[in-house]
């Protein structure tokens, strides 16, 4: 029915625009690290998934009643469905069958009567349930983005949203450095507390800021390339050239060494990927466009570098040689490895690392017994919380998405049916995910909700790419 189709299209469009809002909102709300920021993001993503479900069901019902097929732009993946269903079943099963609640005041586990005594359960009910709400919302985000990406218009909209949000965070961080801010958003430290030395922009920890900037960096550079090498609005060219310079200077200004290293590596990879195409495009570049690029890039670089305190960032590299072997993270990583056999196949429960890990630190130097909310290795923390079965499922969702994207890019027949924006954006998504995958080996970016949101968005694009061009292919068959 026409009404059902109208409702379906409206609901899906609203879901897409609400996802755009989430991409802007989450990094600006304390980097998505506070309890309130996580709760708000969960509600937004839950609404996104609900609207998408309403839209999808309405479109299917309306077209079936009219006898039309709705296969062209519909996303389906039995592999992703199986992986995410088992993952959610495992996580919720552990959370709802929890064996205890951790008492922070007395550092004691209060036993609970598990619904299924013979089945395994998490060591803390509240922490596991809280994380599973977030995991469920993020899994929904992957599905929504995979579906939206079948429409090339939404690919560009999400691309712009990631680029603009990342550029705005980069600009915020540089302005704060230029003005000598002591805390994010120019807050004043409480009496008796010093300035926060590890923050950048809205992130209290520079490592998370670096990981976020690196997720946005390929999108920003890709948009600059897109609008410089084609006939486009001069304002769009100036915007993305400016944001490209700003985000690269922001990465250099942020004191995360791993973030800087990976940013340089990603830029080299992108240059290698697009070198031949760039050379062909730049040969036909208009003189006024080239001059605009030089002027905008030069002025922006001069203005930003003068005020961004790059000397502090470079100073951390000078201290790296003498300090890296004494970093406490290597000590706790070794302890985490030794604890893996006790985690077993299903782990201690989603989100329980902060209450479980201190029980393994009794024989460690007191200086290393700080409060470890996260391990500086996302892979080890995932294995401790989810076990090797859950870890394998997460790995299949993450690296499986990258694999689908790479396979799609290597299929020349399928690639020929894509729009140019899809051909350009998918390699950028793969590079961004590869960067955060490397960063996760020495830090905890995948524990931060705003970064998780961007990773889920990129994964949705990667999984969705497996069906790109199918609508065109079916249309061509009908016409023949």
Q: Is the distance from CB of 152 to CB of 421 less than 8 angstroms?
A: yes
Q: Is the pLDDT of residue 188 over 80?
A: no
Q: Is residue 4, in this structure, part of any structural domain at all?
A: no
Strand partners, 101: 110
Give domain status of residue 348, yes or no: yes
Provide the token pair at 420. 């140019």
pLDDT in tens, 426-472: 999 999 999 999 999 999 999 999 999 999 999 999 999 999 987 66
Separation between Cα atoms, residue 66 and residue 38, nearest integer Å: 42
* Structure-token match 């065109």, residue found: 472
Give the residue, 68 or 79, on which the prediction is more confident.
79
For residue 397, pLDDT over 90 is answered with yes
Domains: count for the chain? 1
| Selected residue with higher pLDDT from 323 and 129 | 129
Confidence of residue 292 (pLDDT cuts 50, 70, 90): low
Q: Kindly state whether residue 64 falls inside one of the protein's structural domains.
A: no
* Burial call 446-470: b when 16+ CB within 10 Å, e when fewer: bbbbbbbbbbbbbbbbbbbbbbbbb
CA distances to 109, 147, 343, 358, 385 from 100, rounded to whole Å, are 6, 39, 16, 16, 15
How much of the chain is helix, strand and coil, in % rounded to 5?
Answer: 75, 0, 25
Per-residue pLDDT at 279 exceeds 90: no
Q: Is residue 282 in a domain?
A: yes
Q: Which of 240, 275, 233 is nearest to 160 (CA)?
A: 240
Provide the pLDDT for residue 322. 52
- Contact, 451 vs 215, CB < 8 A? yes
pTM score, whole prediction:
0.90
Task: Give me 289's structure tokens.
Answer: 């466009």
The boundaries of the domain holding residue 456 are: 87-479
Strands 108-111 and 100-103: antiparallel
Please report whether residue 80 resides in a domain. no
Direct distance between the N- and C-terminal alpha carbons of the chain, in angstroms, rounded to an integer: 29
Q: What is the pLDDT of residue 479?
A: 46
| Partners of 238 in beta bridges | none
Listed residue (203, 201, 205) closest to 250, CA to CA: 201
In a domain, residue 433? The reply is yes
Are the C-beta atoms of residues 112 and 125 closer than 8 Å to each other?
yes
Residue 471 is encoded by which pair of tokens? 């609508």
- Taking alpha carbons only, the member of 169, 168, 199, 170 closest to residue 182 is 199
Q: 388 lies in a domain?
A: yes
Gyration radius from the chain CA atoms: 24
With a pLDDT cut of 70, the percent of the chain lying above it is 81
Instruction: Flag whether 102 is in a domain.
Output: yes
* 211 contacts 261 by C-beta, under 8 angstroms: no
Average pLDDT along the chain:
86
Residue with tokens 């950028």: 428
Percent of the chain at pLDDT > 90 equals 64
Tokens of 370: 């700080």
HEC string for 329-359:
HHHHHHHHHHHHHHHCCCCCCCCCHHHHHHH
């Amino acid at each position: 029915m026409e009404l059902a189709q109208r409702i379906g299209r409206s609901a899906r469009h609203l879901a897409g625009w609400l996802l755009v809002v989430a991409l802007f909102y989450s990094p600006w709300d304390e980097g998505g690290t506070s309890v309130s920021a996580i709760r708000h993001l969960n509600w937004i993503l839950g609404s996104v998934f609900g609207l998408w479900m309403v839209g999808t069901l309405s479109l299917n019902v309306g077209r079936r009643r009219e006898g039309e097929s709705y296969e062209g732009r519909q996303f389906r993946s039995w592999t992703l469905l199986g992986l995410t269903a088992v993952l959610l079943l495992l996580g919720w099963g552990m959370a709802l069958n929890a064996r205890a609640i951790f008492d922070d005041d007395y550092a004691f586990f209060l036993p609970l009567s598990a619904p299924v005594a013979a089945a395994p359960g998490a060591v803390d009910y509240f922490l596991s349930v809280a994380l599973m709400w977030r995991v469920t919302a993020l899994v929904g985000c992957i599905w929504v983005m995979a579906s939206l990406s079948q429409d090339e218009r939404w690919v560009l909209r999400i691309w712009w949203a990631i680029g603009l949000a990342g550029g705005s965070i980069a600009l915020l961080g540089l302005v704060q450095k230029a003005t000598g801010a002591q805390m994010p958003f120019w807050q004043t430290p409480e009496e008796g507390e010093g300035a926060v030395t590890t923050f950048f922009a809205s992130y209290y920890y520079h490592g998370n800021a670096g990981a976020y900037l690196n997720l946005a960096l390929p999108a920003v550079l890709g948009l600059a390339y897109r609008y410089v090498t084609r006939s486009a609005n001069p304002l769009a060219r100036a915007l993305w050239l400016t944001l490209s310079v700003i985000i690269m200077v922001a990465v250099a200004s942020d004191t995360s060494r791993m973030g800087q290293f990976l940013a340089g590596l990603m830029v080299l990879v992108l240059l290698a990927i697009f070198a031949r195409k760039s050379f062909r495009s730049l040969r036909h570049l208009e003189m006024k466009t080239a001059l605009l690029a030089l002027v905008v890039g030069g002025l922006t670089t001069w203005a930003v570098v003068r005020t961004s305190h790059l000397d502090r960032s470079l100073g951390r590299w000078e201290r790296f040689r003498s300090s890296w072997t004494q970093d406490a993270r290597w000590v706790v990583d070794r302890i985490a490895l030794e604890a893996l056999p006790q985690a077993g196949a299903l782990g201690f429960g989603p989100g329980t690392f902060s209450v479980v890990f201190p029980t393994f630190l009794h024989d460690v130097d007191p200086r290393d017994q700080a409060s470890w909310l996260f391990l500086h290795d996302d892979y080890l923390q995932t294995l401790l919380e989810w076990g090797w079965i859950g870890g394998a499922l997460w790995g299949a969702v993450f690296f499986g998405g990258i694999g689908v994207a790479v396979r799609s890019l290597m299929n020349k027949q399928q690639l020929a049916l894509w729009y140019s924006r899809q051909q350009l954006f998918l390699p950028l998504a793969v590079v961004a995910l590869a960067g955060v995958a490397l960063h996760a080996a020495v830090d905890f970016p995948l524990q931060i909700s705003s970064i998780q949101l961007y990773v889920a968005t990129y994964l949705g694009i990667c999984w969705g790419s497996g069906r790109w061009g199918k609508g065109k292919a079916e249309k061509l068959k009908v016409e023949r």
